[in-house]
Amino acid sequence: MLPLYVTSGEPAGIGPDICLSLADRADERPVVVLADIHMLRDRAKILNKNIEIIEYQQQEQSSLQGQLFVEHVPLNQDVVLGELNPENSAYVLEQLSRSAYFAMEGQSVGVATAPVQKSVINDAGIHFSGHTEYYQEFAGVDRVVMMLATKTLRVALATTHLPLRDVADAITKQRLHQVIDILIHDLKTKFKIEHPRVLVCGLNPHAGEGGYLGHEEIDTINPVLESYRAQGVNMSLSMPADTLFTPENLKDADAVLAMYHDQGLPVLKSQGFGEAINITLGLPFIRTSVDHGTALNLAGTGLAKSSSLHVAVDLALELARRK
């Protein structure tokens, strides 16, 4: 049975800590952590965890509780807890490249990712804007969609990791068509929602107030949404973001499309931080992720919460079963 790979992310942060908690599971499908096996064993000792950490062999089918399969990726330098080291940036990216390669080559069902620290990778002289963009480039697809989800809310993004001053220029009719096509397709195919209902945020306050607070809704966003509505897609026109997220509006919605990162995600994370997950739509493989960062100050303390990683693994395994 094909494995699910889990990247351990930034080694100085809590990624290795939360990955060790996967030994508490007993999944039918192998769940394999990409990490330096020696570093994980050292971290387990620091955290007083009695875990059998095993280098993964393809013939192994499942692990027992107390066991953790690892695909060994050697560190460049020893890790100091809580201290970023640009010399280990290549190690972090090697985890991502191996996970993507295994998925693209049909050697895994997909990947779940622990957090990375974008800044230290860029400090190493490597341009890196995030997991989402990395996997998009590796897979060679024109567009992917970042969507975060809790048990009760899904929020997809028209733009991802952009400075706020660049967002309006990035919201074009072409981009919106690409994003909505992917969103509708994956809600139907991955999540098995036959007729998804999507609510769409406007870009400007009050969705532009009829042009008095901006013209993007009139010139770009609503014409695209009208074209989908004319095809029978159950999709709103642009709505003011400050009232869209009320319980009355959300009660029958399958997803919300926000125009930029901090428009939709603060609401979602306020509802379910630590239980939310990040899903990359539009890839030819499954990719889920945690909803939090590296928490350098918590590394090795035993205080890091692993709930989001377990939800991400659960969803990835569930999506693999639905294929």
**Nearest-CA neighbor of 12 among 44, 39, 38, 52?**
39
Phi, psi for residue 110 in degrees, rounded to 5: 150, -160
CB 290 within 8 A of CB 309: yes
Feature table: binding site: 131-132, 161, 206, 261, 269, 278, 287
CB 179 within 8 A of CB 200: no
CA dihedral (105, 107, 109, 114) positive or negative: negative
CB 208 within 8 A of CB 216: yes
Feature table: binding site for substrate: 131-132, 269, 278, 287
Which CB contacts under 8 angstroms, 24+ apart, belong to 293-297? Answer: 293/13, 293/115, 293/117, 294/9, 294/10, 294/12, 294/13, 294/14, 294/15, 294/115, 294/116, 294/117, 295/13, 295/14, 295/115, 296/10, 296/12, 296/13, 296/14, 296/82, 296/83, 296/84, 296/117, 297/82
Feature table: binding site for a divalent metal cation: 161, 206, 261
CB 223 within 8 A of CB 123: no
Nearby residues of 174 by Cβ (< 8 Å), 6 or more positions away: none
Nearby residues of 242 by Cβ (< 8 Å), 6 or more positions away: 205, 206
Q: Which residues pair with 34 in a beta bridge?
A: 7, 71
* Degrees, nearest 5: CA angle 138-139-143: 105
**H-state helical runs in 47-198:** 89-104, 118-123, 131-139, 164-170, 173-189
